[in-house]
Chain A
Amino acid sequence: MKTRARLPAAPRVGRAKAAIGGLLALLVLALPAAPAVAGDIRATVRDRDGKPVADAVVVVVPSGGAAGAGTPPGVAEEDQRNKEFVPYVLPVQAGTRVLFPNNDNIRHHVYSFSPAKTFELPLYSGTPTSPVLFDKPGVVILGCNIHDWMVGYIYVSESPHFAKTGADGKVTLGGLPGGDYTLRVWHPRLEGSEQATAQPLAVPSTGAVDAATTIGLTPDFRARRAPTPGRGGY
């Protein structure tokens, strides 16, 4: 299933004529099963126009205390398919190791200059044997040194409670112990800082609470995709 959608872009950078298109599989992050005494957060992210925002990461941090122990971080995968990072936005908990399997028949050179994780996977094909550890919370912007238009985001969360909105702008965080939380939203095209989106949220022990967040989006900015033989578009 392939869906054509507007992709999130980095804030403040925009190139109007560069319409960025891509295929994005909408993934619902599979979270570990929550204990019975837990509440859910049904989060909705919309832009100022009221349109649902996909690929927005919703993070919930317990108020006042530590994030609390969750399930230990495992290994995530950020694929490169058809010269695109898949998924476009990959939220992971700090300490997660991410594999970058190359599903294209060409080589890629994945890098990141982001302060949260600077790394480089020089030209390779197939799946590198060792995954990359993302142990520092923050946003890691992924690029390919060969293909300028390839961009991907790994959101490294300090909290174990996070999820990514779907195409309807909604996501449900379940299994949270009841209590007060702070909810934040991040998006590649988020206007302003992530902290600015913080909002307190009381999560009941059982049941669900709705959280609606409206965020501003900067214009989409994606590098122009190089023409591919056999394909007329981008």
Chain B
Amino acid sequence: MAAQIPGSCWSSRPLHAAGALLKRAHSALPQLFAGRVSMTRFVAHQVIVFVALLLVAIQLVTLLALNWAVSENARESVRKEVEVGRRIFVRMMEDRTQQLTTAASVLVSDFGLRQALMSSDHATIVSALNNHGARIGAAKMMLIGLDRRVLGETAAHGNNGERPAFPFAHLIADAERKGAASTIALIGHAPFQLVVVPVLAPVPVAWVMVAFSVDNKLAQDLGLLTGLDVSFATWGRERGWNVAATTLPPPGASALLGALGPPAGTAVPPIAPDLLGADFLLSAAVLGREHEGAVVAILQDSLRDAIARFDGLRVILLALAAFSLGATVAGSLLIARSISRPVSALAEFARRMERGEYDQGPPETRSDELGELAASFNRMRLAIAAREQQIKSMALQDALTGLPNRALFNERLQQALGLARRVAQPVSVLLIDLNRFKEVNDTLGHHVGDRLLCEVAERLRSVLVRASDTPARLGGDEFAVLLPTASAAMAGATAFKILQAFEAPVLVEGRQLDVSGSIGIATFPEHGDDPNVLMSRADAAMYVAKRKRMGCAVYDVSFDTEVENHGRLSLTGELRQAVEEDQLVLHYQPRLDLASGAITGVEALVRWQHPVRGFVPPDQFIPFAEQTGCIREITQWVIGRAFEQCARWRADGLALQVSINLSARDLLGAELPQRIAELLSMHGASPQWFLLEITESAIVDDPARALETVTRLHEMGFGLSIDDFGTGYSSLAQLKRLPVAELKIDKSFVLDMAHDPDDMTIVRSVIDLAHNMGLSVVAEGVETDEVRQLLHHLGCDCLQGYFICRPLPAAQLEPWLARDAAQHGTTAKET
């Protein structure tokens, strides 16, 4: 049997095909995704490649297994077919022999034939043989005598009288034994099946040989019955092999003939089963061997044909494989794309959210998990958008007043400046600081302060009618207004309107609160083109306005140094530290009593000896201290020191009345009288030794409370003096109610009164007014003898100023007092 499986030639085919397919798929997939390569696409790619590879592997294994099974099966079935075919062939040949023998016997039993054959007439004999041979399809017939000589034969022409010997004598011998004999032998070079039967009359009187052609028809009949290819090959010692009859097509016949080989040897060469190579299984049988020749039957079956019978199955399988591969790839593509597309869309959606674009929802809505994810994303988007809106408004809006906060204000300022730069228009910034807001907060509580701030915000809104004007609360009591396209002059007008709007008192919890503010104005481009610069300059202007009580001020370059100095000291902590570490010192400015010509009192003035900066003038930190509330600590320190000093002087026999300045904030604090009382007892001082100076504006801010405090101090025995008289807006009615003993004319009137008739008039009027009300009058800022004489002439009671003496530390004051007493012969005496 053939050991080699011819399947190997086709088994590699699907492998190559699958490999090529994969290669193509590999090169095609990236193209498929080209242009939209992303992470998700890559995942889809992986899924498809994996599925395709898996499928190809499974199909390869299936095909290989099938291939193996097919070739095994085919080989086995072919082997069986050949075996069965051989048996059938043998049996068919036996049957045929029997049939031919019977047919010959019956034929020869024909009486007429026997008569003819026994007629001894050669022509009759030949004629009868021809006739009867045709009846059974014999190719040849021959009459042989008992002496085994040919008496006549078909196809014999004429009778030359010779009686040749019958060439197949052994057949006669066989027939004598068995009644009939048969073989397959060559006549001429052609194979025939020979049957020898006796002519019975009724004992054998002669023999008849009937020859039947072994031809293609026989081969085909046997081929049909056996299912094999049947060939009858003849072999002759000289002629070699010839294929006399076959079912094979001409190429197969020539292949067989070629395989049988050249004539060789003296006997019939054996025919191996693998004569035709691995593709065929073959079985051979020597049918007859006569003299120098033989007839061989060769049965063969093609293994290739047997395998080819499975070609249909293989084609179906390959088609199925290709279809399933295609379907899988297509399906995977669809599924992968149906996943990756929404995932990509969701990723794009997430990127939009990342950029802060919340206006658009996820692109498509599906009913599966991705749809749920998209829906969740959408809810997340809405929630984030809402929260961001909230956060943004919180971030950009002042929660209390609802005004834009500093951040938004800065943003708008930036925008306005950007626009203004392009269109060459001015932009103005107003910085508004409320005066004495801290006092309101501290004394009336934060809720009142908050109401006040809200009211201020409301008034700002009402003043700003242009939509582009942006009011903002920068923090605390600090507001700002952005006025795009407004020049400094226009901004000033707006500031004026704001101040006007502040004029009406605010009613909170039954209290009337006066609102006043200081407004600083800075304008782009003349004051700066940077938001920070503009804001700091507006701030500087605001400080100046506040300090000078100007209401509003437009920035000027000269403000810088002031604000710079001021700014450096503007730390509350530093000031408190100054109090605690005794950086403050008290200077005393003598006050000349004109009536006696003696120094009867001194004004205690606080000085800051800064450890780094050196001497800091009071007008650089007192306003700030007043604003921050630090002034109370300073005042208490001053009072304590003044009490102590005065007590010491008194103990030394120096009867000086000491004037102490109280700020408006001091008066608003209800605890001040109590605190002063404690200090009095601590230093063993008497209230009569002191004059408490209060500014006119302190009473104006909150007349009721100020009056209450002042009244209590007066009741304690302190003398009271109105400081800086003439600069405030106090009414004479208020003045009348105050238990004061003295008025101090502000030095701004005094300094230049010698040359300014108006000042002169004011001074004179004040002196007259004071005297008329029973108050004594003190003039500050007396720097020249001319002024001293004028004041003396006007009847002023006391003088204070550099012409008398500058403020001196206590240690220098005492020698000065001694020198002055010696000079003028008068000094303060113990009263």
Contacts and interface: CB of A to CB of B under 8 A. Distances in A.
Contacts of A111: 111, 201
B177 A148 contact: no
Contacts of B34: none
B176 A113 contact: no
Contact of A141 (B111, B177, B203): B203
Interface in A95-151: 109, 111-114, 118, 141, 143-145, 148-151
Given A12-B146, A113-B114, A148-B109, A143 B202 contact: yes
A109 B111 CA distance: 10
Q: Interface majority SS on A: helix, strand, loop or mixed?
A: loop
Contacts of A150: 202
A201 to B, nearest CB: 30
Q: Counting chain A CB atoms within 10 Å of each CB, which of B109, B178, B203 scores highest?
A: B203
Q: Interface majority SS on B: helix, strand, loop or mixed?
A: mixed
A14 interface: yes
Given A13-B176, A113-B205, 19 more contacts: A10-B204, A13-B204, A14-B176, A14-B177, A15-B177, A15-B178, A16-B177, A18-B179, A111-B201, A113-B115, A113-B201, A141-B201, A141-B205, A143-B202, A148-B109, A149-B202, A150-B202, A151-B202, A188-B203
Interface string B165-176: 000000000001
Contacts of A151: 202-203
B479 to A, nearest CB: 147
Interface in B136-177: 146, 176-177
B111 A10 contact: no
B200 interface: yes
Contacts of B178: 15
B118 interface: yes
Contact of A15 (B111, B114, B118, B179): B179
A111 to B, nearest CB: 7
16 contacts: A10-B203, A10-B204, A12-B176, A13-B176, A13-B204, A111-B201, A112-B201, A113-B114, A113-B118, A113-B201, A141-B201, A143-B201, A149-B202, A151-B203, A188-B203, A222-B203
A16 B176 CA distance: 10
Nearest to A109: B111
Contacts of A222: 203
A151 B201 CA distance: 8
B342 interface: no
A118 B115 CA distance: 10
Nearest to B199: A113
A79 to B, nearest CB: 17
A143 B200 contact: yes
Contacts of B201: 111-114, 141, 143
Contact of B203 (A16, A118, A221): A221
Contact of B111 (A14, A145, A221): A145
B149 to A, nearest CB: 14
A211 interface: no
B202 A144 contact: yes
Interface string A143-167: 1110011110000000000000000
Nearest to A189: B203
Interface of A: 9-10, 12-16, 18, 109, 111-114, 118, 141, 143-145, 148-151, 188, 221-223
B654 to A, nearest CB: 187
A150 B200 CA distance: 11
Contacts of A109: 111
Contacts of A18: 179
A148 B202 CA distance: 6
Interface of B: 109, 111, 114-115, 118, 146, 176-179, 198, 200-205
B118 A221 contact: no
Nearest to B179: A15
Nearest to B110: A145
A143 B202 CA distance: 5
A187 to B, nearest CB: 13
Contact of A223 (B114, B176, B202, B205): B202
A148 B201 CA distance: 8
A143 B203 CA distance: 8
Closest 3 A/B residue pairs (Cβ): A10-B203, A143-B202, A113-B118
Contacts of B176: 12-14
Contacts of A16: 177
Contacts of B179: 15, 18
B124 to A, nearest CB: 13
A12 B147 CA distance: 10
Contacts of B146: 12
A151 B203 CA distance: 7
Contacts of B202: 141, 143-144, 148-151, 223
B151 to A, nearest CB: 13
A140 to B, nearest CB: 11
Nearest to B118: A113
Contacts of A9: 203
A182 B639 CA distance: 207
Contacts of B115: 113
A221 B201 CA distance: 12
Q: Counting chain B CB atoms within 10 Å of each CB, which of A18, A143, A149 scores highest?
A: A143
A22 to B, nearest CB: 13
A14 B177 CA distance: 6
B122 to A, nearest CB: 16
A96 to B, nearest CB: 22
Given A18-B179, A111-B111, A145-B111, A13 B203 contact: yes
Contacts of B203: 9-10, 13, 141, 151, 188, 221-222
Contacts of A145: 111
Contacts of B205: 113, 141
Contacts of B204: 10, 12-13, 221
Nearest to A149: B202
Contacts of B114: 113
Q: Counting chain B CB atoms within 10 Å of each CB, which of A12, A13, A221 scores highest?
A: A13
Contacts of A14: 176-177
Nearest to B201: A113
B200 to A, nearest CB: 6
Contacts of A112: 201
